[in-house]
Amino acid sequence: MARIRKGAGKVAPQFLEDDPSTGYLPGRRWPIVRYGLVTLLASAILVFAIEWIVRGDFSGTVAFFLQPFKPGWTTIIVFALVLIGLDAVLGRSHQSLMIVAPLTLALAFVGHQKSHYLGDPLYPTDFLYSRQIMALMPLLVRERPLTAVAIAIAIVAGLSLLVYGWRLWRRKVPILSRKGRLARLTLTVPLLAFFVSIMDYATFSWTRDRLQIIPIMWDQKENYASNGFALAFALNVPMAHVSAPAGYSDKAIAAIARPDVTASVPDEKPDIIVVMSESFWDPTKLPGVTITPDPIPNVRALRSGYMFSPEFGGMTANIEFEALTGFSNAFLPAGSIPYQQYVRTPTPSLATFLKSEGYRARAIHPGTNWFWNRGAVYADFGFSDFRSEE
């Protein structure tokens, strides 16, 4: 006779939140108030942790929430609404924290690291070049193997803990009733939709001003410091799209008067070689520093004039864009990378100009052709040939 183990085949009980026999919170007194207070407290702790990680300063984080002209408490309420709405979608109270908390805390950590090493906040457009970031991982493993191992262990442990907590929560916490889920959605969806509608930084919003959300798009460091990481990040989402200015058209451009400029071109055209070295600079230009002997005597003897780079410590593609096209990044949203976002059609460049003068334009780069999307961009710039690492 087959033996049946005790407890075998049992199905995890699925309770409804309005069943008082379970002893679950909604079966007690004032369940809605308790749920709201717990959600608000969780939101406050999460937002505080995010700001603390990004700022790296406990006292500065406390000051952000205590100052009445900062939108710290507005952020907490928005997070609470998001958590309540996701609870309705997932079907269990407070389960949304298992999605929102790891995601936002990870973004805060990445934002802190970018600000520390590059001096610039994290923008939504940064994720357009995630492939480049992944391509740098082998370099991290080679240069800092212990750091790479620690990161890998932390990721595996974090994901394992998250999966375990998710499954445990679904077994232990009762299912929300259909009425409870509908009530949560009825509360959160209109409020969140209204909040999204007032986040367009290009239009004035009386409500947004009353909530102490002041877009400072011309100074992104101050924007993130004043509005907090979450709201400033959200304000930058619309900046990924650049609209044409009013009155812009091909006819309007053609109607612009062209200046009468005369130039003489030599009969014998010289070869033109443009070298862009990201790590090359003149250290003698440092104020208060004297260097002997001259570290670049040959360059100094042959050069004429100076060129100042618009970037330092990265963003090579943006320097290339300005040097090859003559267009300024100053008119683009902060954090923009034209190679990734805007160069999608043939674009006038130094290559197209030289080709019109009878030259053959060739590009050479020691990296891969997909890094910074150079393969497609150089073709749009008019280069006849591109030699890369491949």
pLDDT, one tens digit per residue, over 282-312 is: 888 888 888 889 889 998 888 888 887 877 7
In a domain, 7, yes or no: no
**Structural domain for 366, as ranges:** 270-387
365-384 as b/e: b if 16+ CB within 10 A: beeebebbbbbebbebbbbe
Distance CA 280, CA 295 (A): 11
Whether the pLDDT of residue 21 is over 60: the answer is no
In a domain, 71, yes or no: yes
- Of 45-59, 101-115, 135-149, 351-365, the least confident: 135-149
Both 177 and 67 in a single domain? yes
Residue 351: its pLDDT value, please? Answer: 92
Whether the pLDDT of residue 357 is over 50: the answer is yes
Both 221 and 277 in a single domain? no
In a domain, 212, yes or no: yes
SS3 for 385?
strand
Task: Compute φ and ψ for 104, nearest 5 degrees.
Answer: -70, -35
pLDDT confidence bin for 230, thresholds 50/70/90:
very high
pLDDT confidence bin for 48, thresholds 50/70/90:
very high
Whether the pLDDT of residue 75 is over 80: the answer is yes
Mean local confidence (pLDDT), 194-209: 83
Both 278 and 333 in a single domain? yes
Question: What region does 30 belong to: left with phi over 0, alpha with psi -120 to 50, or beta?
Answer: left
Domain end residue (candidates: 240, 255, 286): 240
Contacts of 95 by beta carbon, 8 Å cutoff, 6+ apart: 86, 87, 166, 169, 170, 173
pLDDT confidence bin for 192, thresholds 50/70/90:
very high
Both 130 and 212 in a single domain? yes
Whether the pLDDT of residue 104 is over 70: the answer is yes
Both 323 and 220 in a single domain? no
In a domain, 48, yes or no: yes
Mean local confidence (pLDDT), 75-96: 91
From residue 186, give the alpha-carbon distance in Å to each of 60, 155, 179: 36, 36, 10
Residue 362: its pLDDT value, please? Answer: 93
CATH of the domain at 278: 3.40.720.10
Task: Name the nearest CA neighbour of 320 among 275, 264, 357, 257.
Answer: 275
Residue 313: its pLDDT value, please? Answer: 63
Whether the pLDDT of residue 208 is over 90: the answer is no
pLDDT, one tens digit per residue, over 111-132 is 998 888 777 888 887 777 666 6
Peptide bond into 338 cis (omega under 30): no
Tokens describing residue 145: 């193997």
Give percent of the chain with pLDDT exceeding 70. 86
Residues 132/316, Cβ–Cβ less than 8 Å: no
Both 302 and 186 in a single domain? no
pLDDT, one tens digit per residue, over 241-276 is 677 777 888 888 888 877 776 666 677 788 888 888
Whether the pLDDT of residue 335 is over 90: the answer is no
Both 183 and 283 in a single domain? no
Mean local confidence (pLDDT), 317-338: 84
In a domain, 119, yes or no: yes
SS3 for 25?
helix
Both 60 and 119 in a single domain? yes
Which run of H or of E encompasses 270? Answer: none
In a domain, 161, yes or no: no
In a domain, 10, yes or no: no
Residue 67: its pLDDT value, please? Answer: 82
Residue 302: its pLDDT value, please? Answer: 86
Both 110 and 31 in a single domain? yes
HEC states along 38-81?
Answer: HHHHHHHHHHHHHHHHHHCCHHHHHHHHHCCCCCHHHHHHHHHH
Specify the number of domains making up the chain: 2
Both 340 and 226 in a single domain? no
Residue type, 315: M
Residue 117: its pLDDT value, please? Answer: 78
At which residue do the structure tokens 């070049």 appear?
Answer: 129
Both 109 and 199 in a single domain? yes
Domain end residue (candidates: 224, 240, 256): 240
Give percent of the chain with pLDDT exceeding 90. 23
In a domain, 253, yes or no: no
Whether the pLDDT of residue 317 is over 50: the answer is yes
Residue 13: its pLDDT value, please? Answer: 45
H-type alpha helices, the chain: 31-55, 58-66, 72-90, 97-118, 130-135, 137-143, 145-172, 178-197, 206-210, 220-227, 229-235, 250-254, 297-302, 316-325, 338-341, 350-356, 374-381
Mean local confidence (pLDDT), 365-386: 87
Residues 201/235, Cβ–Cβ less than 8 Å: yes
Mean local confidence (pLDDT), 98-106: 92
Distance CA 77, CA 56 (A): 23
Both 274 and 364 in a single domain? yes
